[in-house]
Each structure stands twice: as structure tokens, then as C-alpha cells.
Chains A and B, each alone.
Chain A
Amino acid sequence: MIIFVPAFAMWLKRMTEIKIAYFAWVRERVGVADELVTIPSSVVTIEDLARWLSARDEGYASAFENPKLVRAAIDRVHAKPHDMIGNAREIAFFPPMTGG
């Protein structure tokens, strides 16, 4: 059994490492355009992730200070705060869109 442990640990790590991308003023406040993050298993929804990120430092806290102004996408599809992250590979946070 022991020999399976490292493989299982690697699998777990891969499952929880996720790319997070930020756009517009969310990106400016956070200070990076994207990053690879290993999120704890307690983080289940988009809302959880935003709360967890805000605890990292002042930049993140400022980006997420008004949750109503931050939208999200899971694997490049619009998502709601209660949507589950699941096995997503890419989460994005951004302000309401102003294209067109």
C-alpha cells in the first residue's frame, strides 16, 4: 500500500492546484495577471475562494472588498458566487464587463 501513497499525494496536489486569472481593476489590485494556487479542501465555491484569497494580503482584500462588484468565470464560463469549483482548471475574477 505504501508505494501508492506518493502517487496519490501527487494526484491530490494536481487536483487542487488551479490557475486563477484576474482582469481590469481586480488584476491591478491583486498585483498579478494570473497565478497557480493550491487551494485547501475547505474552499468549495467561488464565494469561498474569493473569501480565502482576500485573507492573503491587502491587495487581495481590496480587490474583493465589495463582492457584488466582482464577477467570476469557471473554465471560461460565467459563474455565480455559489457555483462549485469542482475540478475546474481555471478560475477568473473580474469587474462587470464594459465592452462593446
Chain B
Amino acid sequence: MAARVVIRIQAEAFNVAKETEALSSPHDDLGAVATFIGYCRSEGGRLAALELEHYPGMADEEIKRVVDQALQRWPLSAVSVIHRYGVMKPGDGIVFVGTASSHRAEAFAACEFLMDYLKTQAPFWKKEHRADGTIGDWVEAKADDDVAAARWKIGS
């Protein structure tokens, strides 16, 4: 059975209940749905917002390549990746990743793999807007993110 794949790059907020529901469309062998939501945070009140820039032509293609790798690796009945761009306030959801499979191990693993790879491969960049109203720095990539992606042992 072909997996149901949803990839969206959008400015608008996503509805977690609706997206989770879509992943859970019933079929006889659905056993597990795992979801991850990444939120904008204030870093202890320091930030008023995060502004996400993306490479429009590449972002969806790159996410599709990462999703294809997940589909080759785990038996998934559905995958959703929704990534937002624009200005996010603390508490706003930035990214939604969901996976559906017959068993929890595959759903969890694929969900984590997708997030680790999106962090290092999907062309998005975050810029800080400080609480004092000034524009801050671009967020620097973390070495930990590369380590997290590398442990899946798939080409860079």
C-alpha cells in the first residue's frame, strides 16, 4: 500500500488535531501514530519572535528527499511534514512531523529520523527578534544537530 504523504511549506499556522487526525485515517493495520511539534520559544523572555527564511524552490524538494528515505527505511502508512516560514511568536508551532505505522517502534524512529534530517538538510534559517524590539542575530547551527543526523548513517 502506498503511503499517504503530506509535505507543506506554509506561512499559516497548522492545526495539530486536524493533522494528527489525517495521519490516523483508519485502516486495518494502523497501530501507531507518532507526532512531533517544534515550537518557537522566548529563551527565558529574551526573544519576541523568530523569523524563518526558507529557499522556496528547494525546501519542499529537500523535505521530499528526506521523506523518501524514511519510507524506504520503515514501513509507514502515512507521513506528514509541515514547516512554516515567516515570523513566529513564542508558543507558535514551527514544524509538525507525523508518522503512522503498524507498530510504535517504526513510527517513533521514523519521526525522530525525519526531525534530525530536517534540522540539518532542509533549507530554513532562523533570525532572532529580541524582546527589546531590535533585530537580533541569525541562529547558529548546533554541532549536536549534525551528530543527531549522522547517527542514522545515511549520506549527508
* B58 touches which of A76, A96, A98 (Cβ 8 Å): A76
Q: Does B123 contact A (CB under 8 A)?
A: yes
Write out the residue numbers on chain A whose beta carbons fall within 8 Å of the beta carbon of B121: 78, 97
Of chain A, the residue at the smallest CB distance from B137 is A25
> Is A94 a contact of B57 with CB atoms below 8 Å?
no
> Is B61 a contact of A76 with CB atoms below 8 Å?
yes
- Minimum C-beta distance from A41 to chain B (A): 26
> Is A98 a contact of B83 with CB atoms below 8 Å?
no
Of chain A, the residue at the smallest CB distance from B59 is A99
Q: Does A30 contact B (CB under 8 A)?
A: no
> Is B123 a contact of A100 with CB atoms below 8 Å?
no
A residues 46-79 touching B (CB-CB < 8 Å): 73, 76-78
> Is A24 a contact of B58 with CB atoms below 8 Å?
no
> Is B120 a contact of A97 with CB atoms below 8 Å?
yes
Bound-complex Cα distance A90 to B55 (A): 12
Cβ contacts B121-141/A at 8 Å (1 or 0 each): 111111100000000001111
Write out the residue numbers on chain A whose beta carbons fall within 8 Å of the beta carbon of B94: 99-100
Q: Is the interface of B mostly helix, strand, loop or mixed?
A: mixed
> Is A73 a contact of B122 with CB atoms below 8 Å?
no
The answer to whether A97 and B124 touch (CB under 8 A), given A24-B53, A78-B156, is yes
Interface residues on A, range: 10 to 19
Write out the residue numbers on chain B whose beta carbons fall within 8 Å of the beta carbon of A94: 55, 123, 125
> Is B138 a contact of A24 with CB atoms below 8 Å?
yes
Write out the residue numbers on chain A whose beta carbons fall within 8 Å of the beta carbon of B124: 97-100
Identify which of B120, B123, B124, B140 gathers the most chain A CB atoms within 10 Å of its CB: B123
Given contacts A99-B123, A99-B125, 18 further A-B contacts (CB under 8 A): A23-B125, A24-B125, A73-B58, A77-B61, A78-B121, A78-B156, A90-B57, A92-B58, A92-B123, A94-B123, A96-B141, A97-B120, A97-B121, A97-B124, A97-B125, A98-B141, A99-B52, A99-B83
